[in-house]
Amino acid sequence: MRRGLLIIVVAASLVTVGGSAPAAGPSVSAIAVGYLHACALLHSGAVKCWGVNGNGQLGDGTKIERHSAVPVAGLPAGIRTLVAGGAHTCALLTAGGLTCWGDNEYGQLGDGVVASNEPPKTVSGLTHVSAVAPGAIHTCAIVTSGAVECWGDNRYGQLGDGTTTNRLAPVPVDGLGSGAEQVSAGAFHTCALQGGAVRCWGDNEFGQLGDGTTTDRPAPVTVPGLGSGVRAVAAGVGHTCPLLAGGGVKCWGDDEYGQLGDGDRTLSLPPTAVTKLDGPVEAISAGFTDTCALLTTGEVECWGNLFENEPEAVRTLARGVTAIGISGDDTYEDHACAILGAGGVACWGANDGGQLGNGTIQDLRFTPSAVLGLPDGVHVLTVRVNGNGTVTGAAIRCKDQCAYERAQGTTVALTAHAAKRFAFKGWSGACKGTRARCSVALGAELTVTARFAKRR
CA atoms within 13 A on the CB side of 155: 11
Rounded Cα distance between 31 and 84, Å, is 9
Task: Please indicate, yes or no, if residue 430 is contained in any of the structural domains.
Answer: yes
- The predicted pLDDT at position 20 comes to 36
Of 28 and 262, more confident: 262
DSSP-assigned beta bridge partners for residue 133: 140
- Whether residue 1 lies inside any domain: the answer is no
**20 is a domain residue:** no
Output the pTM of the full model. 0.90
Over residues 196-231, the pLDDT tens digits come to: 999 999 999 999 999 999 999 999 999 998 977 899
Please check whether residue 242 lies inside any domain of the structure. yes
Do 224 and 250 lie in a common domain? Answer: yes
Contacts of 155 (CB under 8 A, 6+ apart): 164, 166, 188
Residue ending a domain, choose from 376, 393, 425:
376
Q: Is 342 helix (H, G, I), strand (E, B) or coil?
A: coil
Query: 289, 259 in Cβ contact below 8 A?
Result: yes
- pLDDT score recorded for residue 444: 87
Give yes or no: residues 211 and 279 share one domain.
yes
Tell me which of 376, 406, 434 is where a domain ends.
376
Same domain, yes or no: 117 and 216: yes
Q: Which has the higher per-residue pLDDT, 236 or 30?
A: 236
Output the pLDDT for position 25.
54
Average pLDDT, the chain: 91
Is the backbone of residue 195 left (phi > 0), alpha (psi -120 to 50) or beta? Answer: left
Kindly report the CATH number assigned to the domain that includes residue 312. 2.130.10.30
Residue 418 structural domain: 379-454
**Is the pLDDT reported for residue 319 higher than 80?**
yes
> Which among 368, 241, 224 is positioned nearest to 300, based on CA atoms?
368
Q: Which percentage of the chain shows pLDDT scores above 90?
A: 82
Could you tell me if 349 and 444 lie in one domain? no
Does the residue 22 lie in any domain? no
Q: Tens digits of per-residue pLDDT, 410-456?
A: 999 999 999 999 999 999 999 999 999 999 999 988 999 999 999 98
- For the stretch 97-146, pLDDT in tens is 999 999 999 999 999 999 888 899 999 899 899 999 999 999 999 998 89
Write down the pLDDT at residue 329.
76
pLDDT reported for residue 26: 60
Determine whether 54 is exposed, middle or buried from the number of CB atoms within 10 Å of its CB (0-12, 13-18, 19+): middle
Residue that terminates a domain, selected from 376, 407, 428: 376
DSSP string, 216-273: -EEEEEEPTT-TT-EEEEEE-SSEEEEEETTS-BEEEE--TTSTT-SS--S-EEEEEE
Instruction: Assess whether pLDDT exceeds 60 at residue 14.
Output: no
